């Protein structure tokens, strides 16, 4: 049966499906759904279970594959995925063979690959402004729901919502967790939201009143989270924003000199802060929290030293019943699901090779996106380097960049940076990649 009369029949249905998957409205809806699924992952698991979340992500991967196939004429295979990302994912897969539980490790690796694929799909079907708008819309809803549930729990019914991890402390001005499970995760999401909402406001992509409400909401929740890492994160992003603004305003012929001076200044400041870290921690009032982290990091590094090159195998978020995670928690008499540092975590799981690949992936993306943002007129290009700075700083205190929404943002930013900078961009400029929608042929 191959009839196509009036658009009916198998061929007509296939053409209609292709038109739908290739439309701009579907791309926006798909991007919103991906962001909502990963930003609200803890909420979905708490309400409907982990199987539901896995099913949603699997379905989104299938749809994303269909979208990329329909849009294949617009996509350059040469710039599809950063090489460092491919190497990191391949090395994580290789670690399955020496993992203490290969089956569990393979399942965790599959989740890592699926989220990375979703990020790659978004990176190729939406531009930077469209991505920022979609993420901003999702974060507005997520933070609003978080505030509403905290008020319900802490003020109206005065009872913790334990199935969501909400303790109901908003009447005491925190710490609060929202729909994200922990105060540190809420603090990270709030800072990501502040960056996104600020770029939206500067790009005039939303109404001024909505921008003011959004930034105020994110700032309030960041403070109420009482996360010890939020202040450090906000200061780091603020300094990066000021430096990028200075570079963007410099004359083109002086820009390289300004970049060099700023790089030297950041290096000196980093060494000074590390040398005075104890005093800084005392001023922040986070001595107890750091002591707990220091003990955890020391044990994690001890076990990482037992298998320094290849690590213990990829798990992402810890499987607390497996080694070495079980022993670490038993020795500390605590129950950690991560090493509370992406750098320590990946060294433990993937060894020095994995740590080098992760740092190369993030470092190359920061440099490329920073140079791109310093030369482009539109403010939207500042979103990528600022997001990468936030992820790099957060990774020193949390492992969020290795899974879920943090991993999604890292891969998305790396894909975005690789599209505008690097040898593949210059090589790809001479390779035909198809007709871009909206551009007249010829």
**Which three-class secondary structure string do you get for 269-298?**
HHHHHHHCHHHHHHHHCCHHHHHHHHHHHH
Highest mean pLDDT: which of 74-78, 187-191, 291-295? 187-191
* Residue 429 clears pLDDT 50, i.e. is over it: no
Residue 319: count of CB within 10 angstroms of its CB: 19
* Residue 47 clears pLDDT 90, i.e. is over it: yes
* 65-78 b/e (C-beta count within 10 Å ≥ 16 → b): ebbbebbeeebbee
436 pLDDT band (50/70/90 cuts)? very low
Q: What are the tens digits of pLDDT across the range 366-403? A: 989 998 888 888 889 999 999 999 999 899 888 999 98
Cα gap 60→33, rounded to integer Å: 8
Burial class (CB in 10 A: 0-12, 13-18, 19+), 388: buried
Question: Hunting for tokens 């009036």 — which residue is that?
Answer: 6
What is the DSSP secondary structure assignment for residue 155, as one 8-state letter?
Answer: I
Structure tokens at 43: 């909420």
85 pLDDT band (50/70/90 cuts)? very high
Q: What are the tens digits of pLDDT across the range 241-260? A: 998 888 888 887 788 888 88
* Residue 141 clears pLDDT 60, i.e. is over it: yes
Cα gap 26→36, rounded to integer Å: 15
**What pLDDT was estimated at residue 147?**
95
Angstrom CA distances, 132 to 38, 197, 198, stand at: 15, 8, 10
Structure tokens at 348: 């433990």
Cα gap 3→205, rounded to integer Å: 45
* Residue 122 clears pLDDT 90, i.e. is over it: yes
Q: What are the tens digits of pLDDT across the range 19-29? A: 788 888 899 99
């Amino acid at each position: 049966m191959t009839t196509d009369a009036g658009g009916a029949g198998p061929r007509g249905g296939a053409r209609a499906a292709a038109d739908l998957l290739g439309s701009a409205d579907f791309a926006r809806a798909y991007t919103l759904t991906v962001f909502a699924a990963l930003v609200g992952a803890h909420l979905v698991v708490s309400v409907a279970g982990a199987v539901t979340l896995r099913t949603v992500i699997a379905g989104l991967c299938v749809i994303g594959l269909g979208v990329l196939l329909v849009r294949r004429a617009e996509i350059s295979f040469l710039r599809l995925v950063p090489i460092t990302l491919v190497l990191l994912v391949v090395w994580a897969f290789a670690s399955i063979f020496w993992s203490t539980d290969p089956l569990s490790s393979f399942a965790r690796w599959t989740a890592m690959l699926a989220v990375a694929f979703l990020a790659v799909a978004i990176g190729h079907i939406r531009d930077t402004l469209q991505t920022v708008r979609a993420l901003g819309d999702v974060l507005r809803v997520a933070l609003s729901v978080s505030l509403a549930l905290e008020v319900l729990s802490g003020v109206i019914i005065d009872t913790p919502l334990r199935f969501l991890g909400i303790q109901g402390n908003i009447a005491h001005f925190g710490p609060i967790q929202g729909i994200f499970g922990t105060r540190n995760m809420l603090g990270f999401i709030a800072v990501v939201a502040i960056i996104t909402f600020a770029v939206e406001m500067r790009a005039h992509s939303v109404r001024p009143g909505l921008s003011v409400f959004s930034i105020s909401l994110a700032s309030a929740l960041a403070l109420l989270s009482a996360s010890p890492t939020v202040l450090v994160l906000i200061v780091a992003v603020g300094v990066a924003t000021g430096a990028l603004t200075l570079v963007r305003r410099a004359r083109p012929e002086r820009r390289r000199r300004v970049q060099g001076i700023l790089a030297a200044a950041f290096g000196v400041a980093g060494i000074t802060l590390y040398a005075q870290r104890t005093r800084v921690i005392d001023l922040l009032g986070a001595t107890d929290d750091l002591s707990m982290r220091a003990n955890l990091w020391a044990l994690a590094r001890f076990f990482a030293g037992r298998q320094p090159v290849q690590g213990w195998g990829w798990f992402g978020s810890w499987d607390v019943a497996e080694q070495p995670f079980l022993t670490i928690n038993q020795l500390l008499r605590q129950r950690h699901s991560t090493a509370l540092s992406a750098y320590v975590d990946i060294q433990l799981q993937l060894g020095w090779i994995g740590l080098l690949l992760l740092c190369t992936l993030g470092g190359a993306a920061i440099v490329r996106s920073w140079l791109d943002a310093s030369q482009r007129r539109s403010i939207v290009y500042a979103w990528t380097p600022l997001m990468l700075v936030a992820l790099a700083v957060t990774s020193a205190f949390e492992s969020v960049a290795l899974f879920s929404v943090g991993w999604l943002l890292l891969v998305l930013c790396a894909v975005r940076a690789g599209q505008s900078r690097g040898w593949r961009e210059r090589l790809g400029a001479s390779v035909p990649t198809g007709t871009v929608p909206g551009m007249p042929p010829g």
